[in-house]
Structure 1
Amino acid sequence: MDLIPAPIAVRSTSTDPGLPLGPATTLAGGPGTEDAERWLRGALGAATGLALPSAADPVIALSLDPALAPEEYRIGVDAERARITAGGAAGAHWGAQTLRQLLGPEAYRRAPLRRTGWVLPACELRDAPRFGWRGVLIDVARHFLPLGDLLRYVDLLAAHKLNVLHLHLTDDQGWRFEVKRYPRLTEAGSWRERSMVGYRSAGRHDDRPHGGYYTQDDLRELVAYAAERGITVVPEIDLPGHTQAAIAAYPELGNTDVVDTAALGVWPDWGVSSNVLNVSDATLAFFEGVLEELLEIFPSDYVHLGGDECPKDQWRASAAAQARIKELDLADEDELQSWFIRHFDAWLTARGRRLIGWDEILEGGLAPNAAVASWRGYAGGVAAARSGHPVVMCPEQYVYLDHRQAEGPTEPIPVGFVRTLADVYRFEPVPPSLDEVSARQVIGTQANLWSEFADSARDLDYRAFPRLAAFAEVAWSALPRDPAERDLADFERRMRTHYARLDALGVAYRPPTGPHPWQQRPGVIGRPLPGPPPQV
């Protein structure tokens, strides 16, 4: 039935004509399925023109069964009824998403192309995810994505049964989260005077101001919209590095005994700024205030605090930082960063939350309750898993979707390794070096969409799709752990139908034959890396 991601098992009853849908078709859900029922009625109603009213004995019925896991579901369709049975609200939504797939690509339109001839194929289907964390990072700090576009991406994630939106809200190039007690974070920190065009070696800028931020109500809307679709939004406030936008807004946060932080603006370049937070008690208190407001908006168990790519040069030169190292009896600047992260690990733990950070938080000692997002390959994730910490595998060599999709001059702003659709389909989140006990610490996997080279939703579409469909199947489906044993030909066959779904959704994906002329960026310099990425 060309389903993506592939379910655990599906049996088609070819002798059964299926379930026709028409004006008399009703739809209703039992307790706990209200969000899925409302979404399914809206999605199918828009595409088919059918009202799908509620009824005591509905034609399409949703219900919960506590014997199933929360994200597990079953679908049964015959000539009289379609039944979605799930273990929880999220499972009901995933079942509803699959039911829409069963109706074909036209079911993804927002207005009916036809009002008759809709038939659900007769089938029995059972399904459940492999991983509990099936994430996508969207970087809104480098290039701001308006709320409407972000809500659209929630729908795209949900259509692929991806359940975590990791929102990269702050960086050197912009601060996107409204903090009411610190208004200058958005007044000054949310926009930059210009932006770099392409890779920094070209030294090219557009000389156009760029900015934007989300109000707290914007983010509450996003969280609620995502939750109705089975998606958790995990916010990221990056610290102690990648913080020049915050320092530009509040210069006292920087290492004032080393640089004139009052002269800093929001950074217009890509890369890693040398300007990082100081390690004073006042700075810790400042970010506790930021996080207090963050926790009021985001109910996620995990809060991402970055911890990556923090240059230590200013701390080495800072008398205040060196005094802090001596005061705390630390060995070096790596341990100073670990102390900084440990402070917020304890702070979040005391409030019933859990810190997650990039794998650099292992350096100088891993905080006791922290989880690790392993991006510099698998090594950090392996070390964290072996020490009993939760791990999200997102190695840049495999699932950084800002990396180029092919060789050749037509790829727009080519960066990184070549990662084709087939390459992503062969990605395995759990490396064979982990034993069975440690492997259970890999709670999931994530694809990352960094936006230095994607300045619009159209550009983001090009880099995300179709590869995000392959990633979704890796994260959800019970594929063989040995990538060589995966049926790539079958996936590519199912993708032929899925391209039509993406067309109906208005996704500006990269065609299999190469970019359209308007998707190319001739003359804009990238940074392609030679050869294949390193092996596991």
Structure 2
Amino acid sequence: MKHLLPLPRRAETGPGSAEIAPGSSVSGPAPLTDAVRLALPVLDLRVLDLRVLDLRVLDLRPGDAATAAVRVEEDPRLGPEAYELTIAGDGVRIAAGDRAGAFYAAQTLRQLLPAEAFRSAVAPGTSWTVPCGRVEDAPRFSWRGAHLDVARNFLPKREVLRMIDLMALHKLNRLHLHLADDQGWRVESRAFPLLHEVGSHRPQTITSHKGEAPAFDGVPHGGHYTLSDLAEIAACARAREVMVVPEIDVPGHASAVLAAYPALASRPQERYEVLDRWGISPAILSPLPATVDFLTTVFAEITDALGDVPYFHIGGDECVLDDWAASAEISAYQASLGLETTGDLHAWFLRRLADALAERGSRAVVWDEAFVSGRLRPDTVVMPWRGEHVARRAAAAGHDVVATPVFPMYFDYAEAASPEEPAGLGDAITVADVVAFAPAPSEWPEEERARVIGAQFQLWSERIPDGRTLDYRAWPRGCAAAEVAWTGGPAAPEDFFPRLEAHLARLDAFGVEYRPLSGPRPWQRGGTGWRRHRPGAVDVQDVMRHLHELSLSADSTRPSL
């Protein structure tokens, strides 16, 4: 019980052990037994309770449910995502508040097995013993997220599905999928097909670092998900108790959209291209009604494909509003709405989109720049990337908050200030930094702490060109983030790191190419080319000081790092 991660609320070990092996039997209500089987694929559990099972889903075999190795029951008293796991000599009993609770109980049971239980298959005749004991558990936060930027560097569907599997292992339950940015549009649109036909690819990608002469790889880059792909991703995620939160970042970050449909620009006479470099672009969508209609249609396509979409992220960050101010048509429209500034118009535009999403049953989510105007819908969720001060302001204003600060939750930063590291945005965000994070600081008033609904780590992909690099960036820092989001954090290092060491053997068995705690393996190093980290190019403490100044001044522009 001492090596569980994330740490459960209560765990105790008793005398004796229970035997469990592939092919063991499981009984209970269909949604719960289905969740247990999915969380323990290597066991290939046999379902016994014939009365309550969905014959279309489960492979049923006759047997005696009373003697099943794993017995599952629903207990509404436990609440959402909560569970009790009891292991005795006669088998395993799971009581769960809902399907999610059963799924997480099974993930805990998997961690009590040897690390071999995290492989895709085991040798015939394998049998394991599990120490007797009891776990009582429930998460502190309802939002335990991972952000995946597939716009800057596209990741094939297989990588997204694998990320969902890894999130499920760690009881993470929100996949924030960043689907559009200046460098690419990543989802099919049947209403506006040029979005994916034109906006999904670029001729090359910049390889130089800030301060160097621009250099490019000369290699075309692109890709997008079909709406059917999105439906598949969402279905796989739901089965693993992960909710997909799509993001279409507007009105800035719009180069890929405007390359396909320049008429939506504030300066439609200009020619736009999908960007082949990083940084903030002045390209911005017009706030006029035609743009709102366009986006409402695209949002509807995405939500229809994903199915149930409780949250939809609309960005709102890094907007250069100069083109709005310079447009006579937009200025006249602003005046007709009774708005004094382009900042007010920016807020109105996002509010209009949030209203359209609400009509379809989705709550809008925004980055914190969109909050500073104070004109958001009250139910809009704010992600304050600029740190604790702006997070507290959003919470005090009555908004639900998901803690997403650059430090320590931006995993595009290197884990050490060393040229051995692969290229990262800055120095350095370590596992120890992450596990020391408190998403809802104890010194805040209780009403503000109650507004923090969770935490999320960000994987911006300018320096994540492929799945192997994604593994390296995400884990084991993602393990620490899962600990903080589940328990409320922070954790004591002397308690956390021994558990993490044991957990890394599970990741080895699963096939995760994580960054070892001692530093990169020889083949994970940056080498001498563009993938090599430049220590000191961006210092995280300097960034945090600058972000603090921005949060205090309500400046709506993120620094170009």
Which TM class, normalised by the smaller chain length?
over 0.9
What amino acid is the match of 1:129? P
- Distance change >3 Å, CA 225–CA 312, structure 1 → 2: same
Aligned-partner SS, 2:354: helix
Q: Among residues 86, 97, 111, which one is paired with 1:101 in the alignment?
A: 111
**Is residue 366 from structure 1 mapped to residue 375 from structure 2 by the alignment?**
yes
Aligned-partner SS, 1:33: helix
Q: 2:73 touches 2:94 (CA, 8 Å); kept in 1?
A: yes
In the other structure, the counterpart of 1:333 is 342
- Distance change >3 Å, CA 533–CA 497, structure 1 → 2: farther
What amino acid is the match of 1:264? Y
What amino acid is the match of 1:241? G
What amino acid is the match of 1:317? A
1:56-107, CA deviations, whole angstroms, 9 ceiling, x for partnerless residues?
2211112211111110001001111101111001111111111111102110
In the other structure, the counterpart of 2:37 is 38
Q: 1:370 touches 1:389 (CA, 8 Å); kept in 2?
A: yes
What amino acid is the match of 1:150? V
TM-score relative to the length of structure 1: 0.93
In the other structure, the counterpart of 1:12 is 13
> Mind listing any 5+ residue stretches in structure 1 that lack a counterpart?
none
For residues 367 and 176 of structure 1, the distance between their equivalents in structure 2, rounded to whole angstroms, comes to 27
Q: 2:84 touches 2:136 (CA, 8 Å); kept in 1?
A: yes
In the other structure, the counterpart of 1:501 is 506
- Distance change >3 Å, CA 311–CA 35, structure 1 → 2: farther
**Is residue 256 from structure 1 mapped to residue 267 from structure 2 by the alignment?**
yes
- Distance change >3 Å, CA 236–CA 358, structure 1 → 2: same
Q: Among residues 255, 267, 281, which one is paired with 1:273 in the alignment?
A: 281
Q: 2:40 touches 2:106 (CA, 8 Å); kept in 1?
A: no
For residues 533 and 255 of structure 1, the distance between their equivalents in structure 2, rounded to whole angstroms, comes to 31
- Quote the offset at 1:31 in angstroms: 4.2
**Is residue 355 from structure 1 mapped to residue 387 from structure 2 by the alignment?**
no
- Distance change >3 Å, CA 223–CA 61, structure 1 → 2: same
Q: Among residues 180, 204, 219, which one is paired with 1:208 in the alignment?
A: 219
For residues 330 and 23 of structure 2, the distance between their equivalents in structure 1, rounded to whole angstroms, comes to 72
> Mind listing any 5+ residue stretches in structure 2 that lack a counterpart?
46-58, 549-561
- Quote the offset at 1:532 in angstroms: 7.1
- Quote the offset at 1:531 in angstroms: 4.1
Q: Among residues 154, 161, 174, which one is paired with 1:164 in the alignment?
A: 174
Say how many residue pairs are matched.
Answer: 522
**Is residue 529 from structure 1 mapped to residue 528 from structure 2 by the alignment?**
no
1:142-153 counterparts in 2 under 5 A?
142-153=152-163
Q: 2:23 touches 2:43 (CA, 8 Å); kept in 1?
A: no
Q: Among residues 289, 299, 324, which one is paired with 1:291 in the alignment?
A: 299
What amino acid is the match of 2:11? V
For residues 446 and 95 of structure 2, the distance between their equivalents in structure 1, rounded to whole angstroms, comes to 31
For residues 70 and 472 of structure 2, the distance between their equivalents in structure 1, rounded to whole angstroms, comes to 36
Q: 2:348 touches 2:375 (CA, 8 Å); kept in 1?
A: no
In the other structure, the counterpart of 2:54 is none
For residues 293 and 23 of structure 1, the distance between their equivalents in structure 2, rounded to whole angstroms, comes to 42
Aligned-partner SS, 1:511: coil
What amino acid is the match of 1:358? W
- Quote the offset at 1:433 in angstroms: 4.7
- Distance change >3 Å, CA 348–CA 154, structure 1 → 2: same
Percent of aligned positions with the same letter in both sequences?
41
- Quote the offset at 1:487 in angstroms: 1.9
TM-score relative to the length of structure 2: 0.89
In the other structure, the counterpart of 1:88 is 98
- Quote the offset at 1:264 in angstroms: 1.6
1:121-520 counterparts in 2 under 5 A?
121-202=131-212, 203-256=214-267, 260-261=269-270, 263-298=271-306, 299-368=308-377, 369-477=379-487, 479=489, 483=490, 486-520=491-525
- Quote the offset at 1:29 in angstroms: 2.8
- Quote the offset at 1:245 in angstroms: 0.3
In the other structure, the counterpart of 2:555 is none
Aligned-residue CA RMSD (Å): 2.0
Aligned-partner SS, 1:348: helix
**Is residue 76 from structure 1 mapped to residue 76 from structure 2 by the alignment?**
no
For residues 287 and 234 of structure 2, the distance between their equivalents in structure 1, rounded to whole angstroms, comes to 32
Q: 1:172 touches 1:245 (CA, 8 Å); kept in 2?
A: yes
1:224-254, CA deviations, whole angstroms, 9 ceiling, x for partnerless residues?
1110111100000110001110110111111
Q: 2:24 touches 2:44 (CA, 8 Å); kept in 1?
A: no
In the other structure, the counterpart of 2:558 is none
1:96-134, CA deviations, whole angstroms, 9 ceiling, x for partnerless residues?
111111102110001215633411211111100010000
- Quote the offset at 1:407 in angstroms: 1.4
For residues 76 and 458 of structure 2, the distance between their equivalents in structure 1, rounded to whole angstroms, comes to 34
Q: 1:254 touches 1:278 (CA, 8 Å); kept in 2?
A: yes
What amino acid is the match of 2:330? A
For residues 245 and 338 of structure 2, the distance between their equivalents in structure 1, rounded to whole angstroms, comes to 34
- Quote the offset at 1:404 in angstroms: 1.0
- Quote the offset at 1:53 in angstroms: 5.8
